[in-house]
């Protein structure tokens, strides 16, 4: 399979995984900013239960593997003249 198709597949799998997790998110998320950089904070506190959780995690893991395959495919591909 060509590298552009693999990159696109990776992006689609990542979008499916994140959408699945965010669709049933039960909790809160926040971001705080301050002057010294050490005062910045991002906090996620919550859970996802059932099929959306399993589908989301599997899709994100698959996206990582497909992305790595795309990078390898692009690296070993012969350049076009």
In a domain, 8, yes or no: yes
In a domain, 81, yes or no: no
CB burial of 31-70 (b: ≥16 within 10 Å; e: otherwise) equals eeeeeeeeeeeeeeeeebeeebeebbeebbebbeebbebb
In a domain, 7, yes or no: yes
Task: Kindly state the average pLDDT of the residues 35-41.
Answer: 86
How far is residue 30's CA from residue 42's CA, in Å, rounded to a whole number?
6
Q: Which of 59 and 46 is assigned the larger pLDDT?
A: 59
According to the model, what pLDDT value does residue 6 have?
A: 92
The full DSSP string for 27-77 is EEEEEE--SSGGG-EEEEEEE--SHHHHHHHHHHHHHHHHHHHHHHHHHHS
Task: Kindly state the average pLDDT of the residues 17-21.
Answer: 92
The range of the structural domain enclosing residue 60 comes to 3-76
Task: Kindly state the average pLDDT of the residues 33-50.
Answer: 88
Count of domains for the chain: 1
Q: pLDDT of 51-69, one tens digit each?
A: 999 999 999 999 999 999 9
According to the model, what pLDDT value does residue 1 have?
A: 59
| For the ranges 10-14, 71-75, 77-81, the one whose mean pLDDT is highest | 10-14
């Amino acid at each position: 399979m060509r590298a552009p198709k693999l990159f696109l597949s990776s992006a689609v799998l990542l979008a499916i995984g994140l959408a699945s997790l965010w669709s049933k998110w039960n909790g809160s998320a926040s971001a705080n900013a301050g002057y010294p950089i050490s005062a910045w904070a991002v906090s996620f506190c919550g859970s996802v239960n059932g099929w959306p959780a399993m589908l989301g995690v599997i899709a994100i893991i698959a996206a990582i593997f497909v992305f790595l395959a795309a990078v390898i495919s692009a690296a070993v591909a012969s350049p076009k003249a």
